Each structure stands twice: as C-alpha cells, then as structure tokens.
Chain A
C-alpha cells in the first residue's frame, strides 16, 4: 500500500480524543501481518512490537483527532458540546460535522454573539431535530463527532479533515512495513493527545524505550502574514522539530535523524505547539527523545492540506534510522 492508500484507510474511523477504539482496531488490522506482538494499555494506547535484539526504540504517533462531544440536549433539538482539542471558536460556526454513528449535522452559534466573543458554550450541533426527544432517538450524551470532509489527492497534495495525525500514523505503518531492523521496535499509537498529551506518558512508561521519536504534524509557515515565523513549507520535505513551547528535542538524536534522511530536511524552531515528546522525554528516568513530522496547512480546520512526498521522505528518514544500529 502507498502512504496515501494507508491514510485513506485510516481516515474513515471517527475517533476523537477519548474514543480511540475504532481507529486502533483499524491500525491493528493493518499492522498485524508485520508485527510480532500487539498490546493495548489501560488508556487505550496501541503498542505494535517488531522484536529485535538491538536497541529498544519507540516511534509514537497519536491516533486521536480533534472533535466534539455531546454534553447536553436543548429543548429545541440542538446539542451543546465540549470541544476536544485546540480550536478557534469562530472558525467552527457553519462547519459540517459527522458523528461516529454516521449522523450528520452542522455547528451553529447562539444568535447575536460577536465573532471574537464566541465561547464553547455559545456553540451547538444541529442535526435538524426540532425537539430533544427527536435528537435523542439518534444520539446520546457522550457521543462524539468530527469536522466532516472528503479525503482526496490532488497531484502531490492530500486534502483531508484528519491529516493531524492520521498521516503521522500512516507514516508509522509505512515504516513498519518497509524497515529491516535488528532493533527492538515499538510502534505506538497514542491516545488523548489533542486534549493535552494525556496518553503519551503512560505509553512511554509501558514501553520503557532507550530512544523515543514522536511523529506529529506541524504548521507550515508559508501562508500570507504567518505570525509564528519559521522556514517550514508545505512540500519542503521532512521536518525535524528543534523545539516548541514545551520541549526541546535531544540535539544528538535530531542530528542523527537528519543525517539519515539523506535529503534536505526542514528545521522547525518555534515557541508554539505541543507534541507527544512532552510525555516521552521525562518518562521514568528520562529518554533520548526527539520530535519529527511534516508540515500541514489549515490544521484542525476540517480541510487540512499535506504533501505525499513530504510523508514519503519522513518515512524514508525513519526507515534509514531504525535500520541502523542507532548508536547516537
């Protein structure tokens, strides 16, 4: 399967933070032919092991996406929600959504609230019901939804609502199928990243790796008037993330990975963003850890744009790295 084909498979399940069972089931299905051992932790983190005698190396990609959770039914038939993950509230108004059970709807906002003032309690999901009994025939409190959209290719560019981080997961699966490594490899699909990197730490604790690499999406900085300046561009190749506002990647490991790309690599130096590295690096007695990824445009918007060639280059970098003796 190509990376896009893997991504297309991974784009179907609706799995937001806290409800990852559907996506981990799909990932397990795709990984099974290549794995020696597959386990799931108490929180739902999926650990896919490809055994070896060498170094204990973990690649991690979070499998949850941003989304919404129903918290309350209004008498008029709309539902109040919790927003899972970081969103600018005003950008959500009018966007189509789809629930895990297939029900479709749109995000609305209380009348008369100015864009800048919109808070989560002003938003609601409308499935077209005219009273709460009608809505309750199809949905319950706790049901989850994502921004709806197609996943398709336009030359090198992938359009999809869930590139963050199903594309990261696709890269991990690609590496699993292609690598020929003597190392003891752990491909970890972590949970609850979008609500504050909640799964990465316990997954890292369970695996107890020597080396940990977090694979996640970053924002390209190539659109007009980008506030957080960076050299990172869509289509510019794999990205190594030097730092963000919470963590600093281990420079030795970063240089090692960069070398193994055998290609140009983009360096992301920014004081924003949060990756699974936060949970990995300080786990137990500490881990040699770094964060890598590819650039996306319009992340979390419902229509994200990524690059197939960027993802392929990232995969190649990781395959070359894990195939080596990983001596830093």
Chain B
C-alpha cells in the first residue's frame, strides 16, 4: 500500500482538477468493480460486493483533490499571480517550488526579499496578494508560452522516507485515504459497499454533497488525514493527535459530531484486536462527513484518519505504521458492522 500512496501523491490533482488522479484510480479499479461510474462533477463511484451484505447501504469515501493554487493573472514582467484552491497557511508556501498544469512547468513562490522590507512590514504576516510564482520568464509574452490564466499549480515535492519510519510528501491529504480504498477493493471488502472517490473536498465538501445525495447511504466511513501538532512547543490538548499512536477516530471535529455507536464500536474493536488508536483532543478540522451526515435524509458517520504533521503544505509528514494500522482498523470495522 505504501507504493500506491507514493504513486498517488506524485499525481497532481488540485481541487477541481482531479482528472489525472481519477484516471489512474479508474484504470486500477475498473477490472475489479462490480459497478462503476463517474458523475457530472467528477466523483468516481465503485460498487464492490463483499463477503456478505450487512443490511445497510454503506459508503466508504476518500477525496481525490489536494490543496493547491490556480493562476489568476500574469504580470507584464512575467510573474504569475495566484489564488488558493482549498485552505493553505500563506506562511508555509513561501519559497516553495510548484509545478503548473499538465506539462508541470516549474516555478517558485516568491515574495519581496527580506532585505527590502522595513521594520513593521517584517512583523506582518504575508498575504497571498503580495506573492507571485516565478517561472523564470522575463515578460508576459514569454510566460504565456508556458502557462495560461486558470491553470492549476501543485506543490512540487518528492516522496521521501526518513527517520524512524516517517514519510514526507505533498498530498498525503487525502491520497492515503484513496490508497486505502484501492487496497480494500483489491483484496475484496468484508461487506458490500460503495467506494466513492470524491472531488472538491478542500474547496467545501462539494463532491461529497453530490455523492451522498446520489448514494443516500445509511452509514458512511470517511477515510481521511488529520492535523497532528505533536511538536516541540505544543502541549496537551492542543496537539490534537500524534504520529505513531495509531489511526485517529474522531468523536467530534469542526464540522461533524460523529455517530456515537460507530466510534464506540471502533474503540472496542481496536482494544479487542490490539490496534493502537487515538481520538482528537481538540475540536479542529473537518471531513466529508460534515455534509454526508446531514444531506438528503441524513446518515450515520464515522471517520478514520491518519495523523499528519504540517498537513496542507508541500512537506506533510506521517508515520508509515499508522497507515498500516489504519487499514487493519477499517477492515475489522467493516467486517463487524451492521
């Protein structure tokens, strides 16, 4: 599964431009699916029969899009202005390499050099409006040979395994969820389920809104990643969750109050089967469950998330053993769910 995670992270799929991710996933699952279709907004639906039917309509979901940028303007001297697709902290993108469009035109995100800033300006947080992408062009005409307004730009970052079983990559959020779903489909799920690869989660849970309306699940399990702040200067509850402590089963986050019977069952299963697990110690973040829980007639929802440091940056980091435990948990949960 690690190889699939790395492969998926390397494909660019900025929110609303998920085509390449979807095409790769589709080509992998098409021979295995019992039913497969794409909807108008770009969600990919795969129905896979399991060992048994649990008596409810089950939806397992992960989103294909990653946070990134869209080119909004080209200046006279060949620099690119951009807007965010999804939420990123402006501080973490400065000096980051990016790659633009299908041709992966290389660029760097820049801002006025520090030696040109005066006292007060240095204290201010940088704004996206003050930044630009430098593709090494010296005029608008030259830049227009390589990029067009509306092109997407993804963070340019390689997958690197380092330290004691850590992985650094861009787009762990949520290629890990997608990789997990591919694995479940490949090995055959314990129960009949719809596996939905959603679009535009990062820009407002939009794909999931459409998908939940089409499927109208009784229960949904959302496979995601979540922010871990287990860092040097962060204490107690504000860490939210930690790497190496297993998959995260949230009780509540910024957008959803998860179904109690589901997370209680997940906790019990983890204890019985010795799977490490944790929950979020602070109300933070959100998942596609936010819309799936309340759309149409509503659904029971649970999320299983991977703890990720520096999420929504080019250098997001997770522990590989957490991914493996996440898969174990989801498999066990589905096998026991009714």
Binding site for B on A (CB under 8 A): 17-19, 41-43, 45, 69, 71-72, 74, 80, 82-84, 120-121, 141-142, 192, 195, 198-199, 201-203, 205-206
Contacts and interface: CB of A to CB of B under 8 A. Distances in A.
A45 B218 CA distance: 14
B251 A74 contact: no
B293 A198 contact: yes
B239 to A, nearest CB: 9
A112 to B, nearest CB: 16
A72 B242 CA distance: 13
Contacts of B251: 69, 71, 141-142
A71 B281 contact: yes
A19 B282 contact: no
A43 B259 CA distance: 8
A42 B263 contact: no
B257 A199 contact: no
Interface in B271-312: 279-283, 293-300
A69 to B, nearest CB: 6
A240 to B, nearest CB: 27
Contacts of B293: 43, 198
B296 A80 contact: no
B298 A199 contact: yes
Interface string B115-157: 0000000000000000000000000000000000000000000
Interface of B: 218-219, 236-238, 251-252, 257, 260, 263, 279-283, 293-300
A96 B183 CA distance: 49
A121 B257 contact: no
Contacts of B297: 41-42, 202, 205-206
Contacts of B237: 71-72, 74, 80, 121
Contacts of B295: 201-202
A199 B297 CA distance: 9
A120 B257 contact: no
29 contacts: A18-B252, A18-B260, A19-B260, A41-B297, A42-B218, A42-B297, A42-B300, A43-B293, A43-B294, A69-B252, A69-B283, A71-B251, A71-B281, A72-B236, A80-B236, A80-B281, A82-B282, A82-B283, A83-B283, A121-B238, A141-B279, A142-B263, A192-B257, A195-B257, A199-B298, A202-B297, A203-B298, A205-B296, A205-B297
B252 A42 contact: no
Contacts, number: 77
B209 to A, nearest CB: 11
A199 B200 CA distance: 23
A202 B296 contact: yes
Contact of A45 (B263, B281, B296, B298): B298
Contact of B252 (A80, A82, A121): A82
A58 B323 CA distance: 46
The 8 A-B pairs with the shortest beta carbon distances in the complex, nearest first, are A18-B257, A202-B298, A72-B237, A72-B281, A82-B283, A43-B298, A80-B237, A142-B251
A71 B280 contact: yes
B296 A72 contact: no
B281 to A, nearest CB: 4
A192 B301 CA distance: 14
A199 B283 contact: no
A313 to B, nearest CB: 33
Contacts of A121: 237-238, 282
Nearest to B220: A42
